[in-house]
Amino acid sequence: MVTTLLFILGAIVGSFINVVGLRWGTEETLGGRSHCTSCGKNLSWYELVPVLSFLFLRGKCRKCGAKISWQYILIELWTGLVFTSVFNVIAPSDLLSTIYYLLFTLIFSIYIVILIYDWYHKIIPDELVYTAILLSVVSRWLSVSSTLDWLAGPILFAFFGLIWLLSKGRAMGFGDAKLGLSVGLLLGATQGFSAIVLAFWIGALGSLIFIFLNKVGLPAQAGFIKGAKGLTMKSEIPFAPFIIISAWISFVFNLNIINVALF
Ligand SMILES: [Zn+2]
């Protein structure tokens, strides 16, 4: 029962996250009516129901028939999953664990906005990542932490910062280093390092699949990326989405792949 309600709440927050992620840093305010990005038609309430509207409209605008990006339903479903899965892991039972739950869902919600923004702009807004870092410090402070848990954030920051420096910003943005700092602080040593190893695995696999699908023209057709055609091995593929998805997986499954990765 609680799980169902949290999923619905998460999906609603997810539809809000979609709007925030797309409008962040643009002239458009958050208060403006939602509209079709193709024909500008204002959407009615029944076209704005998370998940269901997308299915009901079969992924198309009712007026002009333009395809609605899969981003909307995927982010709504995923945010719903985040709200329920984090609840199952933390299992809030008192004030402290409830605060802990709220912190985690808030941080992951910010991560998802970062994911959307980085996907389209290949840059991470400072306001978002600094807020995430600050909240991560609070959650680390509330947890039982070893010295290494506290150091996990700075270590990941140094790691990504070094890649950024050595590749002169080509392989990794400096924003990824800040995001690494937040993930390390949030998840601690074992889960934090595991998340980053997983991010590289998924990143490598995801890039290959994406480049393959792009040859077929699928991402552009599905509306995932505007002008995605012509993406090659050399194109900059944003890394933050991989870090964020991996951080969630690592936390939910209490991942420990350091030993596997190092030895
Ligand atoms: Zn339209």
CA distances from 251 to 2, 5, 85, 222 (A): 20, 21, 9, 30
Whole-number Å distance, alpha carbon 150 to ligand 1 midpoint, is 49
Q: How confident is the model at residue 228 (pLDDT cuts 50, 70, 90)?
A: very low
DSSP state of 50: T
Treating both helix axes as pointing N-terminal to C-terminal, what angle do 174-216 and 126-142 enclose, rounded to 10 degrees? 110
Residue 217 is predicted with a pLDDT of 67
Does the structure show a pLDDT above 70 at 204?
yes
How many H-runs (helices) and E-runs (strands) does the chain carry?
Answer: 10, 0
How many angstroms separate the alpha carbon of residue 51 from the centre of ligand 1? 18
| Dist CA 240 CA 247 (whole Å) | 10
Q: For the chain, how long is the longest CA-to-CA vector? A: 58
How much is the pLDDT for 47?
A: 86
Tell how far the Cα of 191 is from the centroid of ligand 1, in angstroms. 43
Is pTM beyond 0.85 here?
Answer: yes
The DSSP 8-state label assigned to residue 5 in this structure reads H
pLDDT value of residue 29: 75
Q: Distance (Å, rounded) from C-alpha 241 to C-alpha 256?
A: 20
pLDDT of 224 > 70? The answer is no
* Mean pLDDT, the chain, integer: 88
What pLDDT, on the 0 to 100 scale, is given for residue 212? 81
DSSP letter for each residue of 199-235: HHHHHHHHHHHHHHHHHHTHHHHTTSSTT-TT--TTS
Question: What separation in Å is there between the alpha carbon of 61 and the centre of ligand 1?
Answer: 5
Q: What percent of the chain has pLDDT over 70?
A: 90
Q: Note whether 183 and 196 are within 8 A (CB).
A: yes
Ligand 1 center–CA 110 separation, angstroms: 29
- How much is the average pLDDT of 27-33? 75
Return the pLDDT at 176: 95
Contact 197, 256 (CB under 8 A): no
pLDDT of 225: 52
Candidate from 75-84, 140-149, 233-242, 254-263 with smallest mean pLDDT? 254-263
- Cα 123 to middle of ligand 1, angstroms: 28
Instruction: Give residue 229's pLDDT band: very low, low, confident or very high (50, 70, 90).
Output: very low
Q: How confident is the model at residue 235 (pLDDT cuts 50, 70, 90)?
A: low
**How far, in Å, is the centroid of ligand 1 from the Cα of 43?**
9
User: Are the C-beta atoms of 142 and 99 separated by less than 8 Å?
Assistant: yes
Distance 32 CA to ligand 1 centre (A): 17
Q: Stretch 225-229: mean pLDDT, rounded?
A: 48
Strand partners, 67: 60
According to the model, what pLDDT value does residue 27 have?
A: 76
Q: Whose CA is closest to 107, among 77, 76, 138?
A: 138
User: How high is the pLDDT of residue 223?
Assistant: 53
> Ligand 1 mean position to 221 CA, how many Å?
16
Q: How far is the CA of 60 from the centre of ligand 1 (A)?
A: 8
Find residue 35's DSSP bridge partners: 42
The per-residue pLDDT for range 105-139, each reduced to its tens digit, is: 999 999 999 999 998 888 999 999 999 999 999 99
